[in-house]
Structure 1
Amino acid sequence: MKKIAILMAAGATVLVSVAPVQAATQSAADPVRALQAKLKPGRGVYFVEKVSWSDGTDAREYGGNKGVFQFGRKGLSGYDITMEGGQEPERVIGIGKTVYRSGGVLSIVLKDKKKPWYKTTTGGGYPGGAAQIINAAEPKTLAALLRKGKRDKNSVTGTITVGDLKKVSPWVARIRNQDNGVKVGYTLWLTSGGLVSRLRSTWTTTENSETDAVTVDSRYTKWGAKVSIKAPAPSKVTTKLF
């Protein structure tokens, strides 16, 4: 199967493809206030994601992600995501500004097989790969999506640039500035209580003269559940790639 080119923190050239609208029952609650009510230390939200791509003539499912966000006093304090789109699954744990990665290409690169976790202090946030680029657990991000999008009963559809996301979202702060003009199409769905139940984002990537449209479809459950994300055991961690 053709290998997909995806937006990384280092950046890739992307354009826009807007996701379709899906309507259901009206959500009367204020989504931002509903989210803020769940943002308590030691709590979080679980999610599963499907990733697909299309080159304009062929559309295929690329893989899936699953994970959890943990909240702190100042917003998102950590995450644990497993991405299964590559030849080998990759797991990424972010705690504050520290990120631990295991699997994927690291399973080949890391020489010390007794230390499968690679540690960096690059600031956390969006881990690249096929992870969801829009973070629905950030109140300012959610407010921007609601403001820029068009509401249709319980769904909101619109587009937002990476640059505008950076103004409100720590999640994407490390994406390179030359990608600030990148447009991401999105549709989010809300429960009757105003919480985000689903978020689908779509963009296109261009690499080596090949263009693919990438879609990440996220489903959220257990808003406010007890969550405890922990770093890997120090004996399993290295800071050396080679």
Structure 2
Amino acid sequence: MKRMIASISAVTAVALVTGAPAHAQAQAAPADPVKAVKSQFVPGKGVRFSDRSTMIEDGQGQPYLRRTGSFQFGRGGIVASDISSQSAHPADDRLNPHVPERTIRIGTTSYSQGGTYRDQMPRGKSWYKDPGGMTGGAGGWFSQLVNVAEPTTLTSLLKGAKKSRTTYSGTTTFGKLAKVSPWFRATLPLRSSDKTVVTFKLTVDRNHLPQRLTTSFPVVGIFDSTGWEGKTISVETRFTGWGSRVSIKAPPANKVTTKLEDRDGL
């Protein structure tokens, strides 16, 4: 009898031990996308993403911008980003003053290279430092304005959104985003109307982390100009490598300037 009890105890102990990891895994993948994103906030970790922007007019879409980038996390959320952008047709970069462009942002300080700054750099310098700079330079205006790696932004989007299996869809506005999103405020510090409606569709993966985000908004929400009337920007963002190691550093100090000038006037 003692042997039988000992055997049963041993089997029970093994079952408890082997069952623990499965339970732990279930706990590590919260069903709530906001909690799932917060669980990724580990210093030195992050996520990669890519954007594809399309300009739509009269129902016809034309590829406009492409971006690749990464977010580095700290315990409280995003602490740094590194984003590069170019025209959807690189040969046309010379026709678009916004690209090619790269912006590194650490805290609230941005370092920008190329784009609208390319002809304003002092000789020997290639990066412009702005203590309160934008997240993605001028190209960011035509790219992803909605950052679902921000818990406050994601919470705002999901409130009232329609859910279908792993997809959430709905609308928000520039004004709502400006209230909850540091990313939006830093990406689009100036805009023509906070009433501008942004349509979104978010798909999450099996761990309930953002996988694909599409948004669209009228360009006149940014520029109140007749030249932009009837034009809409549609952006598709895909996220990969949640929890991967990400280390974003400032450019070499000897390549950085805080003053812009007209090189032709030197």
* TM-score (normalizing by structure 2): 0.75
Kept after mapping to 1: 8 A contact 2:101/2:137: no
The equivalent of 2:5 in structure 1 is: none
| CA distance in structure 2 between the aligned counterparts of 1:222 and 1:42, rounded to whole angstroms | 13
How far does the alpha carbon of each residue in 1:201-222 deviate from its partner, in whole angstroms, 9 at most, with x for none? 1011135412211011000001
Kept after mapping to 1: 8 A contact 2:115/2:138: no
| CA distance in structure 2 between the aligned counterparts of 1:218 and 1:47, rounded to whole angstroms | 7
The equivalent of 1:75 in structure 2 is: 77
* TM-score (normalizing by structure 1): 0.82
Kept after mapping to 2: 8 A contact 1:162/1:184: yes
Name the aligned partner's letter for residue 167 of structure 2: S
Match of 2:244 among 213, 217, 225: 225
Change beyond 3 A, Cα 1:150–1:42? same
| CA distance in structure 2 between the aligned counterparts of 1:84 and 1:229, rounded to whole angstroms | 20
Worse-matched range after superposition: 174-183 or 103-112: 174-183
| CA distance in structure 2 between the aligned counterparts of 1:163 and 1:51, rounded to whole angstroms | 22
| CA distance in structure 1 between the aligned counterparts of 2:115 and 2:215, rounded to whole angstroms | 23
For the residue of structure 1 that corresponds to 2:119, the secondary structure is helix
Kept after mapping to 1: 8 A contact 2:200/2:213: yes
Name the aligned partner's letter for residue 100 of structure 2: P
Structure with bigger gyration radius = 2
Match of 1:108 among 100, 119, 128: 119
The equivalent of 2:108 in structure 1 is: 97
For these two proteins, the number of residue pairs brought into alignment is: 215
Name the aligned partner's letter for residue 102 of structure 1: Q
Residue 176 of structure 1: how far off its partner (Å): 3.7
Residue 63 of structure 1: how far off its partner (Å): 2.3
| CA distance in structure 1 between the aligned counterparts of 2:209 and 2:69, rounded to whole angstroms | 18
Change beyond 3 A, Cα 1:57–1:32? closer
| Structure 2 residue ranges without an equivalent (≥5) | 1-28, 88-92, 262-266
How far does the alpha carbon of each residue in 1:47-104 deviate from its partner, in whole angstroms, 9 at most, with x for none? 0111110122532101210000111232110100001124341000000011000011
Q: Which is helix-richer, 1 or 2?
A: 2
Kept after mapping to 1: 8 A contact 2:65/2:143: no
Residue 228 of structure 1: how far off its partner (Å): 0.4
| Structure 1 residue ranges without an equivalent (≥5) | 1-26
Counterparts of 1:57-206 in structure 2 under 5 Å?
57-85=59-87, 86-87=93-94, 88-112=99-123, 114-122=124-132, 124-125=134-135, 127-129=137-139, 130-174=142-186, 175-176=189-190, 179-206=193-220
| CA distance in structure 2 between the aligned counterparts of 1:127 and 1:138, rounded to whole angstroms | 19
Worse-matched range after superposition: 171-180 or 136-145: 171-180
The equivalent of 1:42 in structure 2 is: 44
For the residue of structure 1 that corresponds to 2:158, the secondary structure is helix
Residue 170 of structure 1: how far off its partner (Å): 1.2
The two structures, once aligned, show a CA RMSD in angstroms of: 2.0
Counterparts of 1:25-40 in structure 2 under 5 Å?
29-40=31-42
Kept after mapping to 1: 8 A contact 2:215/2:234: yes
Q: Which is strand-richer, 1 or 2?
A: 1
Kept after mapping to 2: 8 A contact 1:126/1:172: no
Kept after mapping to 1: 8 A contact 2:52/2:143: no
Worse-matched range after superposition: 188-197 or 164-173: 164-173
If asked which structure has higher relative contact order (CA below 8 Å, sep 6+), I would say: 1
Name the aligned partner's letter for residue 233 of structure 2: V
Residue 136 of structure 1: how far off its partner (Å): 1.2
Kept after mapping to 2: 8 A contact 1:126/1:171: no
How far does the alpha carbon of each residue in 1:169-192 deviate from its partner, in whole angstroms, 9 at most, with x for none? 111234347532221111110112
| CA distance in structure 1 between the aligned counterparts of 2:160 and 2:129, rounded to whole angstroms | 37
Kept after mapping to 2: 8 A contact 1:90/1:101: yes
**Percent of paired sites with the same residue:** 36
